[in-house]
Amino acid sequence: MIELTPDKALRRSPLYRRHLQLNAQFEQLGEALVVGAYSDTGMEPRLAISLGLADLSCLPRTGFKGPGAPDWAATQGVEIPSAPNTALAQADGSMVAKLSHQELLIVSGMQGDSGLVDNLNQQIPGTGVYSLPRADSHSWLAVTGLLAAEMFSKICAIDLRTHKFAQGQVAQTSIAKINGIIVRQDLGTTPCFHIFSDIASTEFLWDCLLDAMEEHQGVAIGVAAIRSLDATE
């Protein structure tokens, strides 16, 4: 059996050194190599219900901007959120966030299915539509758990408590003094906040989040724990 390691992948996360230090076990999701779990695999799903941090930066994502972007995306089968700063899950498990009247962020589902992202990237955008290489410009982290909002209160000015920040809501804000996009898209019954930020600052943001989580015994988790939460009804 060939060992899956970041040096054998076409694309690796900016955090791959951190993952190796944490004894990560990698797995293939489509064309992406992601952390499946860390050393204590049995505990991760339970710990993630309280507070977990996952690196999803190798999963597919894209973006489009321009006055014609929403209408063009709708002709490609994308269900468009009704208002800016909201997000909507798609039928295939992917997610579309409307960042403004003219800008969309599209990310794959937790299984790494890239059908929608690949299809959009292969199309020739219409007039007034410009593609944005979000896989190259933005990292993708996810914070899960019932204590997530309390943790965020130390490093983010937005009140992310679930009765204040609704499912599908989007905030474009500062997280640990880094500009980022926060999208609430729960995993089953567990709150989940997706963070998209400047890829050059990924290591700094990861370290800041783990530091803020320490008080609440938060841990790094892999996609196996994410899938476990996503399957919970």
CATH of the domain at 68: 3.30.70
What tokens were used for 194?
């997706």
| pLDDT confidence of residue 112 | 73
How many CA atoms, within 13 angstroms, populate the side-chain half-sphere of residue 169?
13
Residue 223 falls inside a structural domain: yes
Structural domain that includes position 93: 62-133
Q: Does 75 have pLDDT greater than 50?
A: yes
Percentage of the residues of the chain whose pLDDT score is greater than 90: 79
**Cα separation, 161 vs 159, whole angstroms:** 6
Regarding predicted confidence, which is higher, 93 or 11? 93
Q: What is the pLDDT of residues 12-46, one digit of tens each?
A: 899 999 999 999 999 988 778 899 999 766 789 89
Each residue's pLDDT tens digit, 198-225: 999 999 999 999 999 999 999 999 999 9
End-to-end CA separation in angstroms for the chain: 35
Q: What are residue 42's phi and psi, to 5 degrees?
A: -65, -30
Q: Give the model's pLDDT for residue 110.
A: 83
Separation between Cα atoms, residue 40 and residue 31, nearest integer Å: 25
| Whether residues 47 and 140 fall in one domain | yes
Instruction: List residues bridging with 21 in a β-sheet.
Output: none
Q: Are residues 169 and 220 in the same domain?
A: yes
Selection from 76, 58, 168 nearest residue 122 by Cα? 76
> What's the token pair of residue 109?
């589902």
Q: Does a structural domain hold residue 98?
A: yes
- The count of domains in the chain is 2
- Provide the pLDDT for residue 41: 63
